[in-house]
Chain A
Amino acid sequence: MTTTWIVIALVAALTALFRGAGTVLLGDRELPSRLVAVFACLPVPLLASLVVVETVTSGRHLVLDARLAGLAAALVAVALRARLVVVIALAAATTAGVRALG
């Protein structure tokens, strides 16, 4: 149990540090415009990578499971411009359904 508390304390401290380091070090200085141009492009590849990692990986392994069916359902819902709540509910329901059948 002590191990758990050590991990909780260290992960919490490091995460807070990662979030806050940039703003504490930079103050309100303007960023170079080239860097701002990179940040303007950053959301798309970051989200794409997160989708991949959350859908087909488990640790260091590539895993194809019911999450993929859920993501496919979400993709259809997104293409039809469904509301976010509908996209999420459909993904969870599809994944749960595929697991129940498998």
Chain B
Amino acid sequence: MTDELKQGLPAAAVLGPLAFSFSVLARAAGWDAVEPIVFSVLAFSGSGQLGALAILSVGGSATAAVAAASFLNLRFLPMGVSVAPALSGGRLSRFVEAQALTDASWVAAARLDGTFDRRTLLASGAVQYVAWVLGAVAGALVGPRLVNPDTLGLDAVFPAFFLALLADQVRDRRAGSGPRPASLAALAALLTLALVPVAPPGIPIVAGAATALLALASRPRWRAAPGEPG
């Protein structure tokens, strides 16, 4: 398991600062020190927490904040389905293991054939969780003394992180058949860009990710075994 834990370290180095800036922003919006920490411990979701905070800090209702966070985290539903065959144990144990699911742990655990590595998912998720909580605690405690995490450029950390993961994925998948990774990335980016002004936050991400359905229209990467439903 130690190798898998080490694999989770780069992502943890990113999530720590991100949780830190979430807490700083929450304190700036008038939250006390306990609220951002408890939120981070229970939700463990950058997009969901930042989305809910953004709505509340402009005076939005609780319903609007919960709806925004739900849309933003809707992608965890299909991602959870994708890792289901890899997890083990009874229903409760599977449910708990699925909580290790983050964008980064899911990408780390993804094999090229569409199956997932359970140990990598759990180890990567666990390391990120520790970094997430520590970052949130640090931000909640020193937050009021900092002006604005944006002056440190912390809001560029998340997109740069996703870009680096994307580059790795495109390189790894260039050789395979099916939709060309670079084309799929460009199509998803354009679709997301077009939907942002017209759809609730989060939906453009789900729609962009749904371009993966083009895999059904192109030559499969392998043939289904005889008798197996295609």
A74 to B167 alpha-carbon distance, docked (Å) = 11
Interface residues on chain A, number (Cβ under 8 Å): 81
How extensive is the interface on chain B, given as a class?
35 or more
Which of B62, B107, B155 is within 8 Å of A47, CB to CB? B107
A75 to B167 alpha-carbon distance, docked (Å) = 9
Chain B residue contacts of A46, Cβ below 8 A: 75, 103, 188, 205, 208-209, 212
Q: Is the CB of B35 within 8 A of A8?
A: yes
Which of A8, A22, A49 is within 8 Å of B78, CB to CB? A22
Do most interface residues of chain A lie in helix, strand or loop, or is the interface mixed?
helix
Q: Which residues of B contact A (CB under 8 A)?
A: 10, 13-14, 17, 31-32, 35, 38-39, 42-45, 48-49, 52, 54, 56, 61-62, 65-66, 69-70, 73-85, 87-88, 91, 94-99, 101, 103, 106-107, 110, 112-115, 150-167, 169-170, 173, 176, 178-179, 181, 184-189, 191-193, 196-201, 204-205, 207-216, 220-222, 224, 228-230
Q: Which residues of A contact B (CB under 8 A)?
A: 1, 3-12, 14-16, 18-24, 26-57, 59-62, 66-67, 70-71, 73-75, 78-79, 83-85, 87-88, 90-97, 99-100
